[in-house]
Amino acid sequence: MKLQLINIRDAVVDTFWFLPALMALLAAGAALATIAIDSAVGDAWLRDTSWVWLGGPEGARSVLSVIAGSIMTVVSIVFSLTVTTLAQTSSHYGPRVLRNFTADRGVQFTLGTFIATFIYCLMVLRTVRSIENSFVPYISVNIGMLLALVSMAVLIYFIHHISQNIQAENLIANVGEQFLESLPVLFPEGIGRPSDNTCSEQLPDDSQWQAAYIVLSAATGYVQVVDDEQLIQLATQHDLMLQLARRPGDFVTTTSTLLRVLPRAHINPDIELQLRDCFSLGVHCTPHQDAKYMMQQMVEIAAHALSTGINEPFTALACIDWIGASLCGVARRELPKALRQDEHGRLRVIACTLDFEELTDTAFDQIRLYGARNPDVMLHLLKTIGDIASDVRRDSDRNALVRHAQLVGEDASQIVNLTDRRRVADRLQETLMTLVQSLRNEHEIT
């Protein structure tokens, strides 16, 4: 059920068409409702109201026709601006960030407002009669005029919204904030029962895993979501031990192993199907459980900024800042354990987890590669590594930062200017000292 809800949300709520379609249906319903009110109450009570439009049938048709025609013109402009923005964003920042625009509520609401106004006016226009039984739905026509004013205000908002979203600083900040807000989902702390010292004693040896039942993928694509809670529940219910071979973000084919199951005798086709259903596959990665995907969005923007065709180092520096903030958030969290027990203390799931070291590889390797000749980028990488040091709690995380700091120092040898190389070397020593000091502080606290 959890995977189904996530898939529905991803396929419907986050898509470009859902909100406009919903608003269009609401507009049609509102038009029917206001027309029914007009038919029921008449227009006598409006005669003494000076600010209400009270023209004849021809005037009502003209007003509604002008609004509907103008709105369609504006819709074409909005579509053109949106497509142009998507094209420029893809070429300038990379295709991975397009999802942020297609799922943007501001753009969806703008398009939905215009379509809703158009449909409302058409629905009202068909009810205006002037030959026999003359009927002008004054309440509906006035609401249509009000919607036209609202649409103009929304158009102004849309232009401002688009101009803000395509700015590099705002785009990077949006991705970084999404990463930080998603940390409880990306690195959940409450999956199953935390492992204790007895877990290692329950681990099967290699010969036992070689005899395990292998559950293969039923399709080809990227693993988007894994239902960890359901896996633990199934393992407990059928007295199984599961070793996951894939995690969100991995690409699988129909010959790829999803997980291994012990004991082999407890598995049957129905259980195998239930286990396979705990993995959701798709044609692309999603940010729901894939921390590397969200980190790669910022890395891709930085890589594009450092390319020779664009050459915007300050955009890359902003990416490094938000990458550092994201890694600080990860360093402060208790990362999910690979060994997971049930409520009775029995080992049930051996997960394929993402650790801090692998995430730092994703964050720093590509930027270091493309920025190796740029002293500002290398200096900023070292500064960011030093800033992360104050939030590190695990020795393995600190060792990963030390390794990346040393790699930055090695790659800085490509810098042409000797003075710049010395600046990087000095900053490297400062960063390493900061990491050593953070280790001392941690030991003093413990």
Report pLDDT digits (tens) over 273-304: 999 999 999 888 888 889 999 999 999 999 99
Residue 53 maps to a domain: yes
Which of 259, 282, 305 terminates a domain? The answer is: 282
Which tens digits make up the pLDDT trace of 94-131? Answer: 888 888 787 888 889 999 999 999 999 999 998 887 76
Are 271 and 370 within one domain? Answer: no
- Amino acid (1-letter code) at residue 176: G
Are 51 and 136 within one domain? Answer: yes
What integer pLDDT is reported at residue 87 of this predicted model? Answer: 85
Residue 181 maps to a domain: no
Residue 148: pLDDT over 60: yes
Are 54 and 110 within one domain? Answer: yes
Residue 243: pLDDT over 70: yes
For 222, list phi and psi in degrees, rounded to 5. -95, 140
Tell whether the torsion through CA atoms of 154, 155, 158 and 164 is positive or negative.
Answer: negative
Q: How far apart are the first and last CA of the chain?
A: 43
Residue 177: pLDDT over 80: yes
Asked if residue 26 lies in contact with residue 119, where contact means CB atoms within 8 angstroms, the answer is no
Are 207 and 58 within one domain? Answer: no
Confidence at 446, pLDDT banded by 50, 70, 90: low
Burial class (CB in 10 A: 0-12, 13-18, 19+), 258: buried
Are 52 and 128 within one domain? Answer: yes
Are 10 and 146 within one domain? Answer: yes
Residue 188 maps to a domain: no
Are 24 and 153 within one domain? Answer: yes
Quick one: which of 326, 336, 395, 392 has its CA closest to 362? Answer: 326
What is the distance between the alpha carbons of residues 137 and 39, in angstroms, rounded to a whole number?
A: 7
Confidence at 310, pLDDT banded by 50, 70, 90: confident
Are 295 and 278 within one domain? Answer: no
What integer pLDDT is reported at residue 201 of this predicted model? Answer: 64
For 193, list phi and psi in degrees, rounded to 5. -100, 130
Burial class (CB in 10 A: 0-12, 13-18, 19+), 98: middle
Quick one: DSSP state of residue 353?
P
Residue 86 maps to a domain: yes
Are 49 and 102 within one domain? Answer: yes
Question: What's the CATH number where 273 sits?
Answer: 3.90.1170.30
What integer pLDDT is reported at residue 146 of this predicted model? Answer: 94
What is the average per-residue pLDDT within 302-326? 92
Residue 171 maps to a domain: no
Number of compact structural domains in the chain? 3
What integer pLDDT is reported at residue 13 of this predicted model? Answer: 65
What is the distance between the alpha carbons of residues 389 and 356, in angstroms, rounded to a whole number?
A: 13
Residue 174 maps to a domain: no
Are 148 and 272 within one domain? Answer: no
* Residue 36 CA from chain centroid, whole number: 43
Residue 343 maps to a domain: no
Are 241 and 153 within one domain? Answer: no
Contacts of 28 (CB under 8 A, 6+ apart): 119, 120, 123
Which of 282, 300, 322 terminates a domain? The answer is: 282
Quick one: which of 259, 280, 286, 250 has its CA closest to 358? Answer: 250
For 279, list phi and psi in degrees, rounded to 5. -110, 125
What integer pLDDT is reported at residue 48 of this predicted model? Answer: 62
What integer pLDDT is reported at residue 49 of this predicted model? Answer: 65
The pTM assigned to this predicted structure is 0.86
Residue 185 maps to a domain: no
Q: Domain range spanning residue 148?
A: 2-166
Asked if residue 97 lies in contact with residue 299, where contact means CB atoms within 8 angstroms, the answer is no
Are 140 and 9 within one domain? Answer: yes
